[in-house]
Every structure is written in C-alpha cells, then in structure tokens.
Structure 1
Amino acid sequence: MRAVKTVISTAGNLKRENPDMDEVNVLLICLRAIKDANVPKFLQDDLKLFNGIVSDLFPNIKEAPVDYGILEEAIRKSCIEAKLKDVDGFVTKCIQLYETTVVRHGLMLVGPTGSGKTKSYEVLAAAMTSLKGQPSASGGNYEAVRYFVLNPKSITMGQLYGEFNLLTHEWTDGIFSTLIRRGTVATDSNKKWYMFDGPVDALWIENMNTVLDDNKKLCLSSGEIIKMTEDLAVASPATVSRCGMVYLEPSVLGLDPFTECWLKNMPDIMQRFSQQLNSLFKRFLQVSNWFCSSLSM
C-alpha cells in the first residue's frame, strides 16, 4: 500500500505541475507505475486478482506495451550463451528485474529452489553489459554491470560490516564495507550489484536499513558513513518496505528446460543416449515429481 500511495501522490504532483496535461496520460503513467512496482512480487494466482482490481480502478484505460526489443533480444542471447533455455516466463522475470532496478536501488529476489533466482540476475547483467551505451526503454543508456556475490550467513557480522579489536581498539573493515568503499571511489560508470546470496537473517538485514533508505548511506559502528554514489519471514516491515521485490516461481520454468539443458551439456560419449533419456524424462519425471510433491504436503 505504501508503493501505491506513493505512485498516486506522484501522479497528483505531476498533474498539478502540468495542468494542461491530458488526464488520460496521467492515468496511464499512474497505471504503469503501479504495475511496475507490484506485478513482479505477485504469484500467478494473485496476478489474476490484481489485474481484476486494476481494471476496476482504471476502466477503459488501455496501456500501450513498452518496447523492450533490444533488451529482450539480449536476454535471450545471454541465455543461449550461458547454455540455458530462453523460456518466455524467465525472460519476462528478467525484464521485471530490470524494471525494478530502475526504480529501486535495493531489492530482493524471492522464490523456492529451482525458480531461477541466481540465473536471472546473471543473465540480466550479461545482457545489460552487451548493450552498454545503447538507449534503454526507461531513458538514458544501458550500462555494464559488475556483481559481487557473498553469503552473509557464512561469516560473522564483524567480518561482514567491520569491527573493533577489543584489545587494540583498531578498526578492521568487513567484506561488504570494503566492497562499498571501492565502489564509491571507482572512476568507471559500470553499475555495481552487491548480491547477498543466502537466507535472510534479522541481524544482517536490519543493518542494511540505512543503505536501503533513500539517503543510500552505510553507517558503520566506527562512526564512518559511506554514501553510495549511484542513483522475509525474519525481515521486519521496515526492511521489506524499503526493498523492491521480484518473486520467481518454479512453475514458470517447468521441468523441460532443466532436462533439455542437461541433455545438451552431456559428455560426447553420452550423446548417443540422449533420445532414450529424453523419452524417459517425459514419461516418468513429471509424474514422479508430482508424486513426491503430494507426499510432502
């Protein structure tokens, strides 16, 4: 609701600043902003309900599709280069991830194992890097992306953010504070993504609140403040409301892309059995997966 309220307030300000603007254009801006902020975080079943609500709020308003032609083409090309199948649903999620990065500097990729969370940002980063310098659909130009991946649960809070030595009272930088500091002084124009790949913990995520705020500042216990130069169960509402959310579902991919990619990447000596294995996968894999899922319920 915070996101919806912000969008409506922004549309009102836009109308007041441009009193001669056609009201239909204001509604289209408002509609697109609401969809961009909320659609990526919904499940497939919830999306039907959301579309119904939006159609009631904006009757007779038809939204013109945004042209992501070169980005979509680059994403599909990156999928092929990474030996992945360019499933339409996966490509859509990559585009939604891009849209979220445009309006949010902090976001969460959420979903079960096998939904494509890791591959989505890897493919998008490769696609944006390949399009460096070309005009983007959101305005401006695409920029190359460098991402840094770390598991915040595999180290202590001191190793992550930095800490004082209790004996010498000397400050030692943590991994994340070091990465942020290097990123702020870098002279290149590349985008830098810091990926916390692991379960959300109440300790490390709450320390990120100052970074996720609009002021984009990392406040260390040493008293130093590092300002960024670029414009869930245990996470509190304060943290969640600061983040963009992109939810990925395994049902979007299905099992076929996994089996196809696995068969293509088999050693040459095994390629002669690919047709038989593919036949067995189609015959037994989906049924056995459904059976195991029903037992877990």
Structure 2
Amino acid sequence: MRALRDFNLPKIVTSDVPIFLGLISDLFPQLDVPRKRDPELETAVRQSVSELHLQPEENFILKVTQLEELLAVRHSVFVVGGAGTGKSQILKTLHRTYANLRMKPVWHDINPKAVTTDELFGYLHPATREWKDGLFSSTMRELTRQVGHDGPKWIVLDGDIDPMWIESLNTVMDDNKVLTLASNERISLSSSMRLLFEISHLRAATPATVSRAGILYVNPQDLGWSSYVTSWIDTRLAQSERANLTILFDKYVPYCLEQVRCNLKTITPIPENSMVQ
C-alpha cells in the first residue's frame, strides 16, 4: 500500500488526490500506513532551505524528499509544473542538500530549445563528412569520463518538450541507458548520472517517452504566493517595514486576487505568483 501510494502521489493533480486515496482505501480497507521518512535527509533539506533563504514549508520539503526518492529508483525524472510553482528551487534545494552531505554533486544546465537538434546531439557535415559534436553529447561524454567521482551528476534539460529532441533520448531513458549518435558512437549513462527535465507540461510528449521516466508534478497550490512574499519581506532591512508589509499583504492581496479571478478575463493566462510579483 505504501509503495502504491507514495510512488503515485507525487504525479497526481491536487483535485484528483482524494479520488486516488479513496481507491487505495478500497483496495486496503482499514489500513493506515504512515509515510516512510528519512529524518537525516529532512534535517539536511531544512538546513539547505534556510541557507538558500527560502521558507521551510512542509509541502516544499515533501516535494524535495519525493524528488530524492524518485531519483533513487529512476535515472530520468520529469519535474512538471507551471511557471512560479518552485521547480527550480526544488532542484536547487536537493542539489544544496547533496553538497551539504559531502556528496560533491555536479550540475549541468542545458536549454534544449536554444539550439537546433543537430547542435544538441551532433551531426555529420554533409560536404566534408566531418563529425561535429553536439552540446548534449559532449556534456554526457564529459560526465562519463569522470571516473573517480561517485557523487550525483545531473544533466538538467530546462525547456519545453518537443518530439524533435525528446524522441532521440528514448534509448537513454529506458533500460539500455545508451545515447547512440549519428557517428555510430555510443555513450552510456553511468550509474551516478541522472537526467532531469524541468518542464511546464507534457502535451507534446509521446506515451513512449512519458512511460520511461519518473514524474514529479508540482501543483500551483503546493506553495501558493505567501511563501514568495515572506521570502521577499525577509530581504527588507527595517524591522518596522517588514511588520507593516506583512499586515498590508495579508489585508489587500487575497481580496485583490479574488476580484481579478472572478471579474476580469486575462488575454494571456497569468499565474497568481506573477500578479503578486
């Protein structure tokens, strides 16, 4: 029951959670299993959160530990959620936690949409038949070469999913863990390497891609806007200013957001966080 519940909850939308928990309780009547917790990891996560000047929200810490649990069993993970839901901060917090636990993590950030597919994976020059290496392939080769380094090595692909480049990664994401290039070179993913995709939706991904990776879904309701505001108020210097700002935000912002939500129609959908910012 615990495996079913804790492995599937991270990827379920908030409104579907009660339905899912209802199904689980039908399968296992009168069974209440507490979540398996790792107190050492949670303490380390809390420390990282305070070092990064964030708010130690229970939901946020839960998401970081869920990501760590996913990375333990999957070598590729989609972190899905809209803009401003805290995806980058979840990754940064876990990365800082690894660093604090003396695991020497390595992080490579790539925007796959900033370059063409050829520039991402490399290509054979049509005239000279010369091999030109790509951004992703060279990063992966560089990480594979670090032999004496056992710490977690992440390649974070931060950009919208598009079948042009994601389909080429299917062999890397399944159990073969091998990237085959056009030059017939094969680069394998070592056991400490992880692929992380930071994306807002999975509309363009095929079932073949989605089934190959773990999914951590970050709901807009998980953090809300209040923790952003608290972090921003903490940066103000004068004590009186901080106290007054807190009162003013609590007084006006929820009411204004309610009015905007009920009475106004935006041409471009704007997340609540962006309005508050």
Bucket of the pairwise TM-score, normalised by the shorter protein: 0.7 to 0.9
SS at match of 2:31: coil
Q: Which residue of 2 aligns with 1:288?
A: 256
Q: CA deviation at 1:272?
A: 4.7
Pick one of 136, 146, 155 that aligns with 2:106: 146
Q: CA deviation at 1:296?
A: 4.1
Q: CA deviation at 1:37?
A: 2.5
Pick one of 187, 194, 202 that aligns with 1:226: 187
In 1, Cα distance between the equivalents of 2:212 and 2:108?
A: 21
CA contact (8 A) 1:75 1:124 kept: yes
In 2, Cα distance between the equivalents of 1:288 and 1:274?
A: 21
**Normalising by the residue count of structure 1, what TM-score does the alignment of the two structures yield?**
0.81
Q: Does 1:279 align with 2:247?
A: yes
Bigger mean CA offset, 107-116 vs 281-290: 281-290
Q: Which residue of 1 aligns with 2:95?
A: 125
Runs of 4+ in 1 over 6 A off after TM superposition: none
| Equivalence map 1:52-131=2 (5 Å) | 52-131=22-101
Percent identity of equivalent pairs: 35
CA contact (8 A) 1:106 1:243 kept: yes
- The superposition leaves residues 25-66 of structure 1 with CA deviations (integer Å, 9 ceiling, x where unpaired) of xxxxxx232223311101222111111111111224342431
In 2, Cα distance between the equivalents of 1:290 and 1:147?
A: 40
SS at match of 1:113: coil
Pick one of 157, 161, 180 that aligns with 1:196: 157
SS at match of 1:148: strand
SS at match of 1:158: helix
Q: What amino acid sits opposite 2:261 in the alignment?
A: S
CA contact (8 A) 1:36 1:100 kept: no
Q: Which residue of 2 aligns with 1:211?
A: 172
In 2, Cα distance between the equivalents of 1:118 and 1:107?
A: 14
Q: CA deviation at 1:194?
A: 0.7
CA contact (8 A) 1:111 1:249 kept: yes
Pick one of 4, 7, 13 that aligns with 1:43: 13
Give the direction of change, closer, same or farther, for the CA distance of 1:271–1:163 in structure 2 (3 Å limit). Answer: farther
Name the structure where helix makes up a greater proportion of residues: 1
Q: What amino acid sits opposite 1:123 in the alignment?
A: T
Bigger mean CA offset, 63-72 vs 191-200: 63-72
Which structure 1 segments of 5+ residues have no match? 1-30, 133-142
In 1, Cα distance between the equivalents of 2:109 and 2:239?
A: 34
CA contact (8 A) 2:2 2:35 kept: no
Q: What amino acid sits opposite 2:243 in the alignment?
A: Q
Q: Which structure would you say has the larger RCO, counting Cα contacts within 8 Å and 6 or more residues apart? A: 2
Give the direction of change, closer, same or farther, for the CA distance of 1:151–1:271 in structure 2 (3 Å limit). Answer: farther
Q: CA deviation at 1:106?
A: 0.6
Q: Does 1:258 align with 2:258?
A: no
SS at match of 2:128: coil
CA contact (8 A) 2:6 2:35 kept: no
Q: CA deviation at 1:278?
A: 2.1
**Normalising by the residue count of structure 2, what TM-score does the alignment of the two structures yield?**
0.86
Q: What amino acid sits opposite 1:156 in the alignment?
A: T
SS at match of 1:223: coil
Q: Which residue of 2 aligns with 1:19?
A: none
In 2, Cα distance between the equivalents of 1:214 and 1:99?
A: 19
SS at match of 2:179: strand
SS at match of 2:113: helix
* Paired positions, count: 255
In 2, Cα distance between the equivalents of 1:71 and 1:293?
A: 39
Q: Which residue of 2 aligns with 1:238?
A: 208
In 2, Cα distance between the equivalents of 1:147 and 1:36?
A: 27
Q: Which residue of 2 aligns with 1:169?
A: 129
Q: CA RMSD in A?
A: 1.7
Q: What amino acid sits opposite 1:279 in the alignment?
A: I
